[in-house]
A and B are shown apart, each in its own frame.
Chain A
Amino acid sequence: MDHSSIAIIIVGILLFLGCFLIFVASVGIVRFPDFYSRLHPAGKTDSMGQAMILVSLMIYEGFTLATIKLIIIVLFIFIVNPTATHALANAAHAGGVVPWRKGEKKR
């Protein structure tokens, strides 16, 4: 396969953005003060970062069977990641984890 340089540039930009989003998610998990607020970067930014990396792979691959598999994986992540986040939040709520309020110490 030969790739036009424009496609390669787009692939590079998307890969960079995806890695950046996952980096931000990790920073958020460290910086945010309690369990519930840590779920925000873990649930949203991670799924977007993964989606961007996989979309860049789709563009690199062109229209093949691998691209269709990647599309299925992206859809799966967008269904499963929020569901898992919700399961974690619900378990924490049922277990009596009290949400952090502004002004308290970081946990």
Chain B
Amino acid sequence: MSFILTSIVMFVFWMLISGETGVIFIISAIVASLFVSFISHDLLFPNKNTTLSLKRLLRLLKYSPWLVWQIVLANLDLIYRTLHPSLPIEPHMIEIETDLKSDTGITILANSITLTPGTVTVQARKDGSFLVHAIAHGPANGLLKGTMQAKIKAIEGDEA
């Protein structure tokens, strides 16, 4: 299943990048995508359970508008802090605990922490705990409240 899905994704990607529709191009696209998915089909869908991966992808799409809004807020916050004459920053490290278990969930949370206001992930550990560098106390409180963790837990789902 993951083999077929990976070949389809690779083929569509090839067609989008090349934009050529000649027969020779399509044949080489098919050969190349089959070969690539033969050697690495377990990388794109590492789970045995491919429907779960697809479900997670759909939930991720639902999550992304909120993330984009957070990125905009993060940039406004950074513009303010950078251009303010007295540089209002108070850097400190914080530890947060989450109950995320899958690699997907941990990766999404680590990247989201870096993109959202005032925080950069320093360490993401396998057990779901994170070491985060916060630029000031205000924006870091949002992370300690745990709204983002709950949203990403919802993406991950209960199925392991």
Residues of A within 8 A of B (CB): 21, 24, 27-28, 31-34, 36-37, 39-41, 43-45, 47-48, 65, 68-69, 72, 78-79, 82-83, 85-86, 89-90, 92-93, 99-102
Supply 17 further A-B pairs (C-beta < 8 A) apart from A45-B82, A82-B121. A24-B82, A32-B82, A32-B89, A37-B91, A39-B120, A40-B120, A41-B78, A43-B114, A45-B75, A45-B78, A47-B71, A48-B75, A65-B16, A82-B110, A86-B122, A89-B122, A99-B92
Tell me how far the C-beta of A43 lies from the nearest C-beta in chain B, rounded to whole angstroms.
Answer: 5
Query: Cβ of B131 < 8 Å from any Cβ of A?
Result: yes
Known pairs A28-B78, A90-B123; A44 contacts B115 (CB<8 A): yes
Find out whether the CB atom of B118 lies under 8 angstroms from the CB atom of A40.
Answer: yes
Find out whether the CB atom of A89 lies under 8 angstroms from the CB atom of B133.
Answer: yes
Q: Report the 9 A-B pairs with minimum CB-CB distance, sorted nearest first.
A: A82-B114, A28-B82, A82-B111, A89-B122, A36-B133, A65-B19, A48-B75, A86-B121, A93-B122
